[in-house]
Chain A
Amino acid sequence: MLTPERSIEIQNAIGADIIMQLDDVVRTTTVGPRVEEAMHRTTRWLDRCLKAHQNADTQNIFPIVQGGLNVALRSESAKQLMQREVPGFAIGGLSGGESKNDFWKMVHLTTDLLPEDKPRYLMGVGFAPDLVVCSALGVDMFDCVFPTRTARFGCALIHSGQLNLKQKIYAKDFQPIDEECECSTCKRYTRAYLHTIVTNETVSCHLLSVHNISYQLRLMKSIRKSIEQQCFPEFVRKFMANMYASKEYPQWIVDALLAVNIHLDLAAPIAEK
């Protein structure tokens, strides 16, 4: 069993630049007193982690906001954690099985509460549209197994979603995964060849992982660039139009973006696939 002290001891040994408190996290679908218990415990464990932390000047420790899907609890969690002197904050307890509608509201609530001048790290996100939406909601950092895991299952990420390269339709498709992608996989390998090796040769896992990570890094770079150039809303509109053909946007995305004053092109011409 892992204690806060042991967790920090291990992380101190590993020597990472950013380390995480040990939190008490419950399933997003949990309701009742357990959620509150976990929230308070997380705060107490944060204090224990801070005390046990040996390398405060070389390793940055982030607390993790909990509180489930409960507005009051999540607010309370954020407020409590903010009373401690820490270099950044993580938002946890989300990206489980909850509905996207609940998910975005909690992210939005939390980013509104957390200080503006410290990084906000949303754990376990995610899919490309989620990255875009949560960036709009004020998140700074993400992590997810998705790009590499889906790569190992033979799926390549592109601007309009995913290509499942196991499908026979790619058997004679001699394009790269993405014409515009500059990753080493797209420079050299065709969909047709990848189709022959996905799930059969480990090389396919590597090739698709490289592409998928490259895709997500490019995505984040585009997000940053458009924010700098003050055309982020336009970027979001274009991104969503590519991702959701015929403008059938998931309602939660429309709502979440609206909450930060980004209006999606609901009536614009259909984007080319």
Chain B
Amino acid sequence: MKFILPSVTACSSRVGYITDIRRLPGLVLETPQLLLYTKGGSIPHLTYEVLQMVSKEQHALHIPISTVAHCHEAVVAFGKGIADFIGLKEYLTFCSIHDPAAVTPHGFNERDTVSIWSRTGRKQLDPDKYMDMIEAFQPDMYQSLCDGDTNPTSSKKRVQKSINRSIAFLEKCLERHEKSEVLKESAILGAVEGGYSIEGREDSAKYLANSSVFGYVIDGLHSNGPDVEQLTIEDVKPVLEASLKHLPNDKFRVLQGCWNPETVLSMVELGMDAFDSSYVYTVTERGGALIFQNSIKNLDIPSTATDVSYGAEPKDGSNLKPDTSIYAQSSYEIPEKKKRITDDKQVTSVVEEDKSVESETQGPIVESPEDTKSQTTSLNRKYEISLADKKYAEDFTPLSRSCSCLTCKKHTRAYIHHLLQTRELLGPVLLTM
């Protein structure tokens, strides 16, 4: 497998190609790339056939080990790796450790193990157990075991632990990787840790720069879960830059999480190559539809808006502007920044499907009373409309006029609103598409 960059400069956006994948000859994956988030081995709500209606191209799948750990035994017996087992062998597979759409509870990693939360409960993985799974799954690309349980309030000691442990884990994983027959064609990525300490980041990156990995995951910036979309580039830019500064430019860089599109764009500007689509999943689950307006700067986003019809076109068809994707805009103004959500909010660990989770409930979300809600609203509502809202009941326009997906070509907001009201399975399918 190769990662090719036509031209390389430090800390700036770049276009690249992943190619020469032995298992998938002819597949060329362009970067910056969106890895398709999966849960239990499937893109949420989309079968292979329905996925073809979205895109016929070959893509890469983001497969968190925590969501397929319960398949380990079966995949071993199957013998042909996870891609084939899940019925998606035409796609490149990338294994991460944790589920980006679910909060990873704090405080459960130990010196020699990392905890994951699978369907059957908490599992403690040491490098050997982890590599056993990787060898069974035979992903085309995967990250080394690492401890990324850090956040902006982590102590220096904790940050140092995450760096040291991850280095130790990497060494063991590399050892197994190099010995393994089945992983000969697979690419291993090292994890850059260091929490929110600039120095820590640089140390971690410098170590990794000397290791024989295919690329890097930038880890330790968050603990996954839907709240990651609240993070702005200002929150992470210093440590992200510090991470990238000492990494060789010509290697592949991945960053997982439910980042909001604005932050993703900024991270691409800094030199990131790949993300995952868990954000799509979290938006869908709350009945939201993503639409990107042409000119954000033209709209006044009220600070206490609960009903920002950003992008929702009025029924009578007046004021219709063509939507163009935000990515087509070469320049736009980020609306005046509202008060940031304080970083020391406590997050209730929610792993919905897994009743046996030993989660560390740290209390409800502590919101700053004035405008956390509006902050959330204004950040979220910029890109999405909430189809559960009654006002769409008779809105017969498509989700987005400029979108050519099946949902927008064949269906209306009113219909999707109806599907959500009646809890039909088709609702999330159309939104995901």
Contacts and interface: CB of A to CB of B under 8 A. Distances in A.
A173 to B, nearest CB: 9
Interface stretch (B34-42, B149-157, B163-171, B384-392): B34-42
A188 B45 contact: no
A193 B74 CA distance: 8
A171 B74 contact: yes
A196 interface: yes
B45 A202 contact: yes
A172 interface: yes
A64 to B, nearest CB: 25
A196 B425 contact: no
B71 interface: yes
A51 interface: no
B78 interface: yes
A190 interface: yes
Contact of B42 (A174, A185, A195, A197): A197
B45 A203 contact: yes
B46 interface: yes
A207 interface: yes
B340 interface: no
Size bin of chain B's contact surface: 20 to 34
Interface in B25-44: 39-44
Interface string B39-56: 111111111111000000
A195 B353 CA distance: 16
B77 interface: yes
B87 A193 contact: yes
B85 A203 contact: no
A208 to B, nearest CB: 10
A206 B48 contact: no
A210 B71 CA distance: 23
B234 interface: no
A190 B89 CA distance: 13
B46 A203 contact: yes
A197 B73 CA distance: 15
A203 B432 CA distance: 12
B287 interface: no
Nearest to B80: A174
A172 B87 contact: no
Given A197-B42, A202-B425, A202-B428, A188 B70 contact: no
B36 to A, nearest CB: 13
A202 B426 CA distance: 10
Nearest to B85: A193
A184 interface: yes
Contacts of A206: 45, 47, 50, 425, 429
Interface string B75-114: 0011000000111000000000000000000000000000
Contacts, number: 65
A196 B87 contact: no
Given A172-B74, A205-B425, A206-B50, A196 B40 contact: yes
A172 B80 CA distance: 13
B119 interface: yes
Contacts of B41: 193, 196-197
A203 B47 contact: yes
A189 B48 CA distance: 10
A197 B85 contact: no
Contacts of B77: 172, 174, 192
A70 B325 CA distance: 65
A210 B50 CA distance: 12
Interface string A167-191: 0000110100000000011001110
Contacts of B43: 203
B428 A188 contact: no
A207 B71 contact: no
B394 to A, nearest CB: 14
A201 interface: yes
Contact of B39 (A185, A188, A201, A207): A201
Nearest to A209: B425
A261 interface: no
Interface string B11-25: 000000000000000
A196 B78 contact: no
Contacts of A184: 47-49
Interface in B350-377: 353
A200 interface: yes
Given A174-B78, A197-B41, A189 B50 contact: no
Contacts of A193: 41, 71, 74, 85-87
Contact of A200 (B78, B119, B425): B119
Interface string A114-145: 00000000000000000000000000000000
Nearest to B45: A202
Contact of A192 (B39, B50, B85): B85
B40 A201 contact: yes
Contacts of A174: 77-78
B49 A201 contact: no
Interface string A32-69: 00000000000000000000000000000000000000
27 contacts: A171-B73, A171-B74, A172-B77, A174-B77, A184-B48, A192-B77, A192-B85, A193-B87, A196-B40, A197-B40, A197-B41, A200-B40, A200-B353, A201-B39, A201-B40, A201-B42, A202-B44, A202-B45, A202-B428, A203-B42, A203-B45, A203-B47, A206-B45, A206-B47, A206-B50, A206-B425, A206-B429
List the 8 shortest-distance A-B pairs measured between CB atoms, nearest first: A203-B42, A188-B87, A172-B77, A189-B87, A201-B40, A184-B49, A206-B47, A192-B74
Given A196-B71, A200-B40, A206-B425, 20 more contacts: A174-B78, A184-B47, A185-B47, A190-B78, A193-B86, A195-B74, A196-B40, A196-B41, A196-B74, A197-B41, A197-B42, A201-B40, A202-B45, A202-B425, A202-B428, A202-B429, A203-B47, A205-B425, A206-B47, A210-B49
